[in-house]
Amino acid sequence: MWRERLAWWGLGVLVTAQVVVYLLGVSDGTAAGLLHNVLYLMPGLMVAVVAWRTPGPLRRAWGFLAAGLTAYASGNLYWWLFVRDLDPDPLASPADPLWLAFYPCFGIALVLMLRHRLPRISAPAWLDGVIASTAVASLVSVPVLAAVEPAPHSTVVGVLVNAAYPISDIAVTGCLLGAWALCGWRADRVLGLLIAGMGLFAVADTVSMVLLWEGVEIPAAFDMMWIAGMVLLAVAARQPDSRSRAAQPSVLLSTAVPAGLAVCCMGLLLWAALSGQHSEPISSLLAAVAVTAALVRMMASVRTAEALGAARRLARTDELTGLANRRFFVERLERELERPDPRLAVAYLDLDRFKEVNDSFGHDVGDTLLRLVGTRMRESLGTDVLLARLGGDEFGMIMPGTGRAEAAGIVAGVLSALRESFVLPEVDLHVDASIGIAICPDDGTDRSTLLRRADVAMYAAKTGHGAGPVFATGLDDHARARLTMLEELRAGLDRGELVLHYQPKVTVDAGARVAGVEALVRWEHPVRGTVYPDAFLYTAESADLMGRITTVVLDLACRQSRAWYDQGLAVPVAVNLSVSDLRDPAFPDRVGALLRRYGLPPEALELEVTESVLMTDADNALLLLGRLREMGIRLAVDDYGTGYSSLSYLQVLPVDDLKLDRAFVSRCGTDPRSAAIVHSTVQLAHSLGMRIVAEGVEDADIFERLRGYGCDLAQGYGIARPQDAATTTAWLLEREIAQKAAV
């Protein structure tokens, strides 16, 4: 690395020395000639070193540039040694092929660099490249070609050779500007240095050609322009690689530069037509190509702008109703909240019993109703209020600059508009809606808080907190406690705060052997202590958290069952399922994966469902329970007798046990009707090949009655209370020891 830096410092010293030589007018000596040729040769050698150290595709690009610069320096050396002293100077010599070889090498290097930087080039970028290259070539060729007037002693070969230099410079410079266009008109040091270097070449070649044809001696100091150009090209190769993306151009330059070049070319064509002076044919042709490409580019830009506008509208518009969608709703709310001291209201609106419309008349009628609802609400609102369809039958409103009273008036107008019947193809329908409103800053100043509280208020309105809208600030303590508990429960699930207590089930006989335990979830709250399931499971079900809770409970139950098996206690563990579990087709697979993870047999796990859960989606529930039963897992109907108690479902349910609710069991000793229900249910279960499990056994008298009825299993406080895993384990071990001693 230090050698390379030393070489660059040396190049700088040599350039400075060359300037001093020209200023002193001693450029004809041997030392001056040696310095002159070394300066021509060094840029090519230094670019060759860069190419050797550069990995990947750029190595070839800088290799060709090094070859071109070296060929140019070789031509200069030949001219200095063999041509410089000839009088008159020949218009063509063997040095010219070496000098001209620089241009194709440079062109190949430019193409290789572009292929590395731009694996894919868009059509607009190609058009910009055509505009830039042809326009620059056209505009520069006018004065250059106009100045061409061969000297009297010139030959055809001499004219062609010397004209090739400025024409090649013009072509290469135009291609460089085209490459800049392909790179999106971005500020780029490599392209900038290449353009500057070739610009110096073009100026030097053009002026030298004119002076040569006029017989004027080219000043020695004029060589500094070629040297400076070569140094700039070498510096460009030394710059770090930075890929450009044609898909992300500079908007200002990508618009202004092609337009300016096209206008200049159009001016050139108009000047030639109006003044009667004919420009060079090649200049006119290039200008016409540039203008044509600019027109095509303009049409493509218009179509692109139209497509982008349409895509932007679609991305923020609900396809069904034409209203704003959730994305636009959230973006607008965030913009409003960014204002100083924002004051606004956010409302959630949900149509009541909309599912019944879809179920009764089909989704086509439901979609038509949603379109009519959206149109009517939009007509009832002012232009300042944003109405959006958030999904399904849920709508949102943002009301800037409104407080509680103004928001209530706006929402009242919406509800009044919805009360008029909607005329549908099959039926006329009336629509009711539940609306929840959150006020900024009273209910929060950030997006998530406002939306969450508006949603809670809407839920409160739907569950019967009044005929009109419900404000988040007007919710009672119960609703606020529900929201707080919901957030704490989510955090508790992440922190692993759920634990299991276990209540044993025993056989109803003289031995009262342990037949299993039921896992009962508890929430060990860091502040409230132990929270029982009736305080949080309903809230969890309404927030779609039961799936997560069941997953946690099953994992804890299987882990504890594995521990008991390792202690020689083959105790089945029963877990309760929820509605969301029986709606999940992947649930049986997850249960099987858990059993395999803990190395448990299927009989180690029992699953319990209530009648109300079964009736929510009976067909799917039956299919899913059938899959679980085929896996060898025992199934039970929990709280039997408190739900629908449909005998037709008992006939087809793939269950092993009926758990009779405690409401009947606890009164069977004092209430003859309860006793009759218990007795008949035992007989019904046995006739169906099921076991009967009695819940709520509080004392020995009830236990004896159940034995007389022929009940199979029993559980309740009279047998054992639910306890944590350690206490239950001690109870099971003590029971096991006592039973072995009795035998």
Average pLDDT over residues 517-545: 86
633: confidence class by pLDDT, cuts 50, 70, 90: very high
Say how many CA atoms lie within 13 Å of 680 toward its Cβ.
8
Higher pLDDT, 310 or 620: 620
361: confidence class by pLDDT, cuts 50, 70, 90: confident
The two tokens of residue 642 are 């408190």
Looking at residue 723, the DSSP 8-state letter turns out to be B
549: confidence class by pLDDT, cuts 50, 70, 90: very high
Q: Any idea which of 155-169, 406-420, 574-588, 664-678 has the lowest mean pLDDT?
A: 155-169
Higher pLDDT, 115 or 657: 657
For the stretch 456-488, pLDDT in tens is: 888 777 765 445 677 766 554 555 677 678 888
Closest by CA to 138, choosing from 317, 338, 280, 298, is 280
224: confidence class by pLDDT, cuts 50, 70, 90: confident
Residue 592: the pLDDT is 94
What residue type is 396 in one-letter code?
A: G
Higher pLDDT, 178 or 411: 411
Residue 668: the pLDDT is 87
Percent of the chain with pLDDT over 90: 21
Structural contact between residues 582 and 627, judged by C-beta atoms closer than 8 angstroms: no
pLDDT of residue 448 exceeding 90:
no
Structural contact between residues 559 and 600, judged by C-beta atoms closer than 8 angstroms: no
State which of 52-56, 270-274, 324-328, 725-729 shows the largest mean pLDDT.
Answer: 725-729
pLDDT of residue 278 exceeding 70:
no
Q: What is the 3-state secondary structure (H, E, C) of 550-592?
A: HHHHHHHHHHHHHHHHHCCCCCCEEEECCHHHHCCCCHHHHHH
560: confidence class by pLDDT, cuts 50, 70, 90: very high
Residue 181: which H helix or E strand, with range? Answer: helix 156-182
pLDDT of residue 679 exceeding 60:
yes
pLDDT of residue 126 exceeding 70:
no
Separation CA 233–CA 69 (nearest Å): 9
Separation CA 659–CA 697 (nearest Å): 12
Alpha-carbon torsion, ordered 463, 468, 473, 477, to 10 deg: -30
Residue 304: the pLDDT is 57
**Degrees to nearest 5, angle at CA 68 with 99 and 285:** 70
Residue 507: the pLDDT is 92
Higher pLDDT, 52 or 242: 52
pLDDT of residue 401 exceeding 50:
yes
Residue 222: the pLDDT is 67
Buried b (16+ CB within 10 A) or exposed e, 316-343: bbbeebebbbeebbbebbeebbeeeeeb
Higher pLDDT, 79 or 265: 79
Mapped onto helix, strand or coil, the DSSP state of residue 362 is coil
Q: What does the mean pLDDT of the chain come to?
A: 78
245: confidence class by pLDDT, cuts 50, 70, 90: very low
Pairing of strands 394-400, 344-351: antiparallel
Separation CA 604–CA 561 (nearest Å): 7
247: confidence class by pLDDT, cuts 50, 70, 90: very low
For the stretch 647-674, pLDDT in tens is: 666 777 788 998 888 888 888 888 888 8
322 CB-near residues (< 8 Å, 6+ apart): 371, 374
pTM across the whole model? 0.45
Instruction: List phi, psi (to 5°) of 25.
Output: 70, 30
Residue 731: the pLDDT is 92
Cα-based distances in Å from 14 to 34, 42, 68, 151: 11, 10, 21, 36
For the stretch 61-74, pLDDT in tens is: 888 888 988 898 88
418: confidence class by pLDDT, cuts 50, 70, 90: confident
Q: Any idea which of 152-161, 226-235, 441-450, 513-522 has the lowest mean pLDDT?
A: 152-161
Residue 587: the pLDDT is 92
pLDDT of residue 4 exceeding 90:
no
